[in-house]
Amino acid sequence: MLKVQNISFSYKESPTIESISFTLEKGNNLAVIGESGCGKSTLLKLIYGLYDLNEGQIFWNQTEVLGPKYHLIPGMDFMKYLAQDFDLMPFITVAENVGKYLSNIYPEKKSERIAELLAIVEMTELANVKAKFLSGGQMQRVAIARVLALEPEVLLLDEPFSHIDNFRKNSLRRKLFAYLKEKKITCIVATHDSTDVLSFADEVLILESGKMIESGIPKTIYETPKNKYIASLFGDVNEIMIDGKKVFAYPHQLEIAEKSDLQVEVMASYFRGSHYLIEAKYNKEILFFESKEAIAIDSKIDLILSL
């Protein structure tokens, strides 16, 4: 189990991470989400041991995670951390980068392991290409394979799919998270992408200005957000007063009706493939809902809330 106990950290005077505590069971996947600059990356670096804590402690099982004051080379052996800069060696091949930390004692096993990892990140065909010739997305996939090479007990991923094309990202996510579950590798992902949270995370931790403001099961938090900030991390959200009560509703939760007390004026229609996202005005506020068809600008539409 990973135990984070009341940790705080600051780069300067104001705290970057403030009084955060949580536990994570072996083999579970935790997503850390929040707006840019909220402390996601810093939290991962603290868990890995790249910085010294101002307060608190971090344990993996019975081993305390300690920072540079205690280790000549920062970082913990049983963890791997994938930063956003990838840190590949440009003048060696993809396969050589992936196998950089693997033992050369059994070359056949090493080759098999490299091939297995390249298949997971869909880079098999580029195994013999030097890293300097890769695109940003390809480099990111190689970096993912490399941190998996020695099969860490804990894997820390900072925006691991940010440079990868959408058509390949979905396949890669399914393969990667299935592999981590199979191997019972504990994973923490700092992400802006709600798909990483809703489809693959066992738990979610939400940060705002360095503080943990919510944690729990992704589905529960998505369906019952405590405030607009939390709801907005999962996509467009509407804040509506109904019967004197503030309600947060996602666009798909508003349906067109023949008559209702919620009448809006259409401002724009955005094609989204399976539907249109409609931007409308309601009591001088902007509101979004979904429709199967585009709706003419200035149309008056009645909506009902379907939670």
- The pLDDT assigned to 84 comes to 82
Nearest to 240 by CA among 224, 228, 229, 252: 228
Please tell me whether the overall predicted TM-score, pTM, comes out greater than 0.85 for this model: yes
Q: Do domains 2-223 and 236-305 have the same CATH topology?
A: no
**pLDDT of the residue at 254:** 94
pLDDT per position in the chain (307 positions), as tens?
Answer: 999 999 999 998 889 999 999 999 999 999 999 999 999 999 999 999 999 999 999 999 999 999 999 888 888 889 999 988 878 999 999 999 999 888 889 889 999 999 999 999 999 999 999 999 999 999 999 999 999 998 999 999 999 998 998 888 999 999 999 999 999 999 999 999 998 999 999 999 999 999 999 999 999 999 999 999 999 999 999 999 877 888 999 999 999 999 988 999 999 999 999 999 999 999 888 999 999 999 999 999 999 998 7
* CATH class for the domain made up of 2-223: alpha beta
pLDDT for the residue 261: 87
CATH code given to domain 236-305: 2.40.50.140
Q: What pLDDT was estimated at residue 115? A: 95
pLDDT at residue number 85: 82
Say how far apart CA 261 and CA 39 lie, in whole Å.
42
Domain borders along the chain are 2-223, 236-305
pLDDT of residue 147: 92
